[in-house]
Amino acid sequence: MKRYFYIASAAALLVAGCAKEAEPETPFAVQAEEVILDITMEDCLVDGSEYATPDTKTVVKNTKEIWWESGDAVSIYPSNSTTPDKFTSKLASGKTAKTSQFSGTFSKSASSYIVFYPYTNIETASGALKTALPAVQTARAGSFDKNLMFALGSFAASKPGFTLKPMMGGLKFRLSRTDIKTVTVFANDGSYLAGDVKFYGLASSSPGISQFSTSSRTISLSPSSGAFQSGVDYFIVMIPGTLEKGITIQLTTTAGKVLEAKSTKSISVKKGVFGSFAKPLNEYVSTATPTAVDLGLSVKWASFNVGATTPEGSGFFYAWGETVTKPYYNDWKSYKWCEGTKNTLTKYNTNSSYGKVDNKTKFSDYSYADDPARYVFGGKWRVPTNDEWNELINNCTWTWTTVNGVSGCKVTSKKSGYTSKYIFIPAAGYFTYNSVKNENTDSAYMLEVISSTPYLTMSFSVNQEYLGHFSGNNDRTMGRTVRAVQSK
């Protein structure tokens, strides 16, 4: 025998709910019988730069509607049980619909129930439910990856109308090129974007979220095969939170090149809201090439840092010998040229106590393949040598000053015929662990060569006390800025 109950989902998140509740045909306390739940998905709301999803799931249709699809399932937890019952969409294989019947059997009668999308067989503990948002997601044209828009709701047995409330948010984007195979996002302040999460207050009107140290600071999105389509909406699902220092986006091409764009503006990831971009993601990647400033020295100096577009911009931070930025530094486990520790180096090593020996010490030894300046700017741009920094110190006047609110040094040539030429080097700080330290007071610029202890390298620093000078040895894994040079 089947029992039919009609349960409407909530209205779009940014407008008042207006779903109507149908009266159940019989009391809701039913065991050992198949129960049919009729759940309707409401429209989403497009509002300026934000893209709001409806209350749950699963596939975006007609730009603003979320439809169920075959195979969707929800978990329903009786209030007197920690184990969920599974209710599955009755849509035929390959079909989608704005309204779908869900069928299942209640293992226990209860006075109230918790509903969670998607279905999970995880038991609740102390009134909380732990699950994980994948850090690697599959791109679906016009939608988001299956089973990722976690949602919660509750209802009383005497009144089985309920609202599923979204627990995730994210970003909506497009691309205007057809050779991008992976989009990676991370927060500049090291915030967690995915991974293990716990939902608590499950029956409350505003369930909470907590994260764990096992969570992930990055999210990567890739099509199941090939590259992203041009001009099509894609969605990245993220854990809600405030990313105070903005985000960095990395676009990996089918040729293996990594393009990067960085925004330092604070971003708020809200439940049920997908923030959108004003233009295709790839159009945020700077194609600016610095001016090669001739100070009358042996090399020309770039007018701005790698990753910046203005002289005062900090640009990107890199571990020594890496050409792609990341959300966490001073971490040997994520360093490219080792096997997890400073004693297992795989490249640029002269001492067998620290790993594989190749007797290479500088980027030119590998034709600048690991030089971030060459990687980003191309051409003949490269990271300066120690001698070239020394030449800059000895043949220029260094003046501590401020440009557009950014402190640093104005470096003016003392060479005859070049005394009107200068560059500005910002005190951009340095990146340790999950944050930038000492912005506007100090800096650490990359040198081309490692130290005699091969897991270390010196930096060139700019600060008010010493102006331009060499600073002590630090791990290769520290995040440094890069000011490039070009041979004449």
User: What pLDDT, on a 0 to 100 scale, did the predictor assign at position 33?
Assistant: 54
Give me 208's structure tokens.
Answer: 């909470």
**DSSP conformation class of 327:** S
246 neighbors 267 (Cβ within 8 angstroms): yes
Count of alpha carbons within 13 Å of 156, Cβ hemisphere only? 4
Q: Are 414 and 421 in contact (CB under 8 A)?
A: no
Cis peptide before 118 (omega within 30 of 0): yes
Whole-prediction pTM = 0.84
Q: What is the DSSP string of 339-364?
A: SSSTTSB-SS---GGGB------BGG
Give the torsion sign (CA, 110, 115, 116, 120).
positive
From residue 78, give the alpha-carbon distance in Å to each of 39, 114, 131, 197, 255: 18, 6, 19, 22, 52
Do 76 and 114 touch, CB atoms closer than 8 A?
yes
- Three-state DSSP class for 264? coil
Q: Is the distance from CB of 274 to CB of 298 less than 8 angstroms?
A: no
Q: Which amino acid is at 349?
A: N
d(CA 117, CA 53): 14
Sign of CA dihedral 464, 467, 468, 471: negative
Select from 82, 111, 95, 87 the least CA-distant residue to 35: 87
- Give Rg (Cα) of the chain: 28
Q: CA geometry: angle at 59 spanning 54 and 65, to 5°?
A: 45
CA-to-CA distance for 43 and 63, rounded, in angstroms?
9
Residue showing tokens 């990341």: 326
* Residue 259 to residue 250: CA distance in whole angstroms: 6
Using left for φ > 0, alpha for ψ between -120 and 50, and beta otherwise, residue 247 falls in: beta
| Per-residue confidence (pLDDT) for residue 149, from 0 to 100 | 84
pLDDT of residue 55: 33
CA angle 212, 215, 216 (to 5 degrees): 155
Distance CA 314, CA 440 (A): 10
The number of angstroms, rounded, from the C-alpha of 260 to the middle of its chain's C-alpha atoms is: 12
Q: Which residues pair with 76 in a beta bridge?
A: 85, 115
CA proximity to 219, closest of 174, 169, 254: 169
- 167 class by beta-carbon count within 10 Å (0-12 exposed, 13-18 middle, 19+ buried): buried
Helix/strand/coil percent split, the chain, to 5: 5, 40, 50
Query: 142 to each of 105, 149, 223, how far by Cα in Å?
Result: 33, 15, 12
Of 281, 284, 269, give the one whose Cα is nearest residue 193.
269
pLDDT for the residue 439: 95
Return the pLDDT at 57.
42
Give the CA angle between residues 299, 303, 309 to the nearest 5°: 145
User: Count of alpha carbons within 13 Å of 188, Cβ hemisphere only?
Assistant: 21
What pLDDT, in 10s, does the model give residues 7-58?
A: 333 322 222 222 222 222 222 333 445 666 555 444 343 333 333 333 334 4
Structure tokens at 436: 């930038």
**Torsion sign across C-alpha atoms 242, 244, 250, 251:** positive
Cis omega (within 30 of 0) for bond into 84: no
**For the chain, which ranges sit under pLDDT 50?**
1-32, 40-58, 60-63
Alpha-carbon span 315 to 288, nearest angstrom: 12
